[in-house]
Structure 1
Amino acid sequence: MDFEASIAELQSRLRQHREILETEESAKTTLVLPFLRALGFDVFNPAEVKAEFTCDVGTKKGEKVDYALCVNGEVTVLVECKPVSSELSIKHASQLFRYFAATNARFSLLTNGVIYKFFTDSDKANMMDEAPFFTFNLDDYRKADLRNLSAFQKSEFDVERIVAQAGTLKLQSQVMTELKKEFDNPSDEFVRVIASRLHDGMLTKPVRDKYQAAISVGIETMIRQRIDERLQNAMARNDDPAPLAEPEPVASADEIETTPVEIDGFNIIRAICAKVVSPDRIIMRDAKSYCAVLLDDNNRKTVARMHFNSAKARYLGLFSGKDEEKKPVTGPIDIYQHADAIIARIQDLEANK
């Protein structure tokens, strides 16, 4: 069974048995161990999954974390489990904090079998962050969550790559949290910023209240419009009478999510293209299975495609006429190796206006 199917089956098990999963042990055996197994760890191999992992820390003797996951023989992930009914908070992670500093582990996982919170040391070396850089909800996840989770598969485990992306994921999560607060209930500071650009005179309470209401409605309208635009673009691509390749199936907004890696790749391609055309003509258009970079936002003028959704392999699609050739890359930085081909593509598109 493949990774996504294993997680989907585990979600079904959770929904079927949630009411009787009352203890920490039931969470471990029914959910956590199968979750680790779905990630490719041999839960029956004590050299790979160390249960009741003990490490004396200072004056604390004999304390244990539930599991230590080993990659290439090294303790890499510490796992602390709680009952399904527990609301996970930082107070549940005291052992993780101590063990993280005392071992060579680079990641910690706090879970109740439903919520999986991943931590690292992005703020201060060898000291576990207080906020997780990635949270996976087994009961409610999206395709993008599965892509992020897939990096923790044993076969794909790359410590440095995960650490490098952790800071971006954490910052993105923090920004989204703050934006959601502003969207739900615009703060006085946010209202003042917008009102100061549109209103002359004192910002009295009636004026502030008027702008606060207008901002809330404006944000909701903007979000709806963006969703409509993405759906219309998807349908337009699907209806294009002369696509470059097989038409991309129409996907819902939840299925299309632009990742930090794709954004990094787009910025590199745009920087390369800026040598021959204005950078504002280079547009990114994401789809379900790839992320396209277009000239003039025209899907007949594809500069390149980033096939970065798979955790196992990444490819950069380069074009000659209508034919796409996929070049393997390990990450966005490798795009620079194909700068000449990208510039040649731009020149070809410009010559055939």
Structure 2
Amino acid sequence: MQLQPQLKALAEKIGKLKDKIDTEESTKHAFVLPFINLLGYDTFNPTEVVPEFTADIGLKKGEKVDYAIFQNEQPIIIIECKNWKENLDVHNSQLFRYFHASKTRFALLTNGIKYRFYTDLEAANKMDEKPFLEFDIAKLKEHTIHEISKFHKSNFDVAKIVNNASALKYTKEIKKLIAEELQSPSYHFVKLFAGNVYSGRLTEKVMGEFADLVGKAFTQTISEKVNDRLNSALNKEAEQQQEETQEPEEVSKIETTEEELEGYRIVVAILRRKLSVERIVHRDTQSYFGILLDDNNRKPLCRLHLNSGNKYLGIIDENKDETRHAIASIDEIYQFEEDLLKTVDFYENE
């Protein structure tokens, strides 16, 4: 599961098509359904992605939300769509009513370009007024893609997403406040710093002077931090180039193929249900392509044998012995999901 290239491709498609899309219905089909599809849900299966899902609200019967995604015959996400030209700020009250009626934990309000994910952090079964995850599909950052991936069918875990939603929501609010304070420091913000460095009386004139000083100090601090990191990176690069110049590079007999890397990405997609991505490390050898836990040779997760006529996936048991399974292509790795996850359990239980 590689969401980044898929999301990038969808964003490019939206950029080309949006000026030709005039209706809400067209927005759904051209922008929203492809997004649902890349999350792993079958938009052609009416038992998994239900269009015009009925969410009766009290005495109002037949109220419908645009889509509901089902898992184990229960709605897990309800989705309300708007025309891509519409401002989403005026539409969350409608979704608020649907959320209570559907008994789901997640709601998505989107116009196909901007996406807002909601849950019920503040009161059970009552949708929060503010989303915990919000993004523009044309301006995605790596950490946002990581959060989107948690809604993928292969990763979906209600408890994990809800637990993380609180941190996401409040981090976003704090970052917003910091940005506002940097642009125009408030009285209390200025007083916090002025009171610690100025011994005299904080008159209106003094506070006015400190407002300018605090703003400049923060801007300079951020610039210095950025410069320090850039200089550190440049120095490391210069040192590395110097080392490469001084020491002749040994020609490696190991050649990592694109097929091995693709196989590794498939294993990561499976194991990230139980492990964070940075703990899953590959190490190529002349005889096999190894995938390790925590980059530790004593903790092999599996081995790929792909460079001979026959291809094999090596499954590791609790004794760290390898059993090879013949595979016709790397796509067959998905068939060994249970075995791969079991290997993780062996190490977690040690």
Equivalent positions of 1:47-126 (< 5 A) are: 47-89=47-89, 91-126=90-125
TM-aligned CA deviation for residue 72 of structure 1: 2.9
C-alpha distance in 1, partners of 2:234/2:159?
Answer: 39
CA change 1:181–1:36 in 2 (3 A) is: same
Equivalent positions of 1:1-353 (< 5 A) are: 2-89=2-89, 91-238=90-237, 313-314=275-276, 315-316=278-279, 324-325=295-296
C-alpha distance in 2, partners of 1:325/1:225?
Answer: 37
C-alpha distance in 2, partners of 1:200/1:163?
Answer: 47
C-alpha distance in 2, partners of 1:101/1:236?
Answer: 56
Conserved 8 A contact 1:37-1:43: yes
C-alpha distance in 2, partners of 1:165/1:240?
Answer: 39
Instruction: Give per-residue Cα distances to partners, 1:148-184, cap 9 Å, x unaligned.
Output: 1111111111111000000000010011111111111
Instruction: Give per-residue Cα distances to partners, 1:183-234, cap 9 Å, x unaligned.
Output: 1100011111111111122222321121111111111111112222223333
C-alpha distance in 1, partners of 2:239/2:65?
Answer: 56
C-alpha distance in 2, partners of 1:215/1:4?
Answer: 39
What corresponds to 2:324 in structure 1? none
AA aligned to 2:79 is V
Conserved 8 A contact 1:78-1:107: yes
Deviates most, 106-115 or 232-241 = 232-241
Instruction: Give per-residue Cα distances to partners, 1:37-65, cap 9 Å, x unaligned.
Output: 11111111100100000121101111110
TM-aligned CA deviation for residue 236 of structure 1: 4.5
C-alpha distance in 1, partners of 2:204/2:57?
Answer: 56
TM-aligned CA deviation for residue 95 of structure 1: 3.3
TM-aligned CA deviation for residue 240 of structure 1: 5.6
AA aligned to 1:45 is N
TM-aligned CA deviation for residue 104 of structure 1: 2.8
CA change 1:80–1:240 in 2 (3 A) is: same
Conserved 8 A contact 1:64-1:95: no
C-alpha distance in 2, partners of 1:44/1:317?
Answer: 34
C-alpha distance in 2, partners of 1:220/1:87?
Answer: 32
Across the two proteins, how many residue pairs are aligned to each other? Answer: 264
CA change 1:207–1:82 in 2 (3 A) is: same
Instruction: Give per-residue Cα distances to partners, 1:295-326, cap 9 Å, x unaligned.
Output: xxxxxxxxxxxx9xx955425489xxxx9418
AA aligned to 1:171 is Y
TM-aligned CA deviation for residue 34 of structure 1: 0.5
TM-aligned CA deviation for residue 33 of structure 1: 0.4
AA aligned to 2:52 is E
C-alpha distance in 2, partners of 1:220/1:46?
Answer: 53
Deviates most, 225-234 or 51-60 = 225-234
C-alpha distance in 1, partners of 2:173/2:150?
Answer: 21
| Bigger radius of gyration among the two | 2
Instruction: Give per-residue Cα distances to partners, 1:85-138, cap 9 Å, x unaligned.
Output: 11111x412332222222231100000100000000011111110000001211
Conserved 8 A contact 2:40-2:152: yes
C-alpha distance in 1, partners of 2:145/2:153?
Answer: 15
Percent identical residues: 36
Conserved 8 A contact 2:53-2:64: yes
Instruction: Give per-residue Cα distances to partners, 1:314-349, cap 9 Å, x unaligned.
Output: 25489xxxx941868x9xxx9xx79x9xxxxxxxxx
Give the CA RMSD over aligned residues: 2.9
> What stretches of structure 1 of length at least 5 have no aligned partner?
243-306, 341-353
Conserved 8 A contact 1:69-1:77: yes
SS of 1:135 mapped into structure 2: strand
TM-aligned CA deviation for residue 144 of structure 1: 1.1
C-alpha distance in 2, partners of 1:45/1:227?
Answer: 49
SS of 1:62 mapped into structure 2: coil
CA change 1:237–1:316 in 2 (3 A) is: farther
Conserved 8 A contact 1:74-1:104: no
C-alpha distance in 1, partners of 2:79/2:164?
Answer: 20
Q: Normalising by structure 1, what TM-score?
A: 0.68
> What stretches of structure 2 of length at least 5 have no aligned partner?
242-267, 282-293, 302-340
C-alpha distance in 1, partners of 2:295/2:203?
Answer: 59
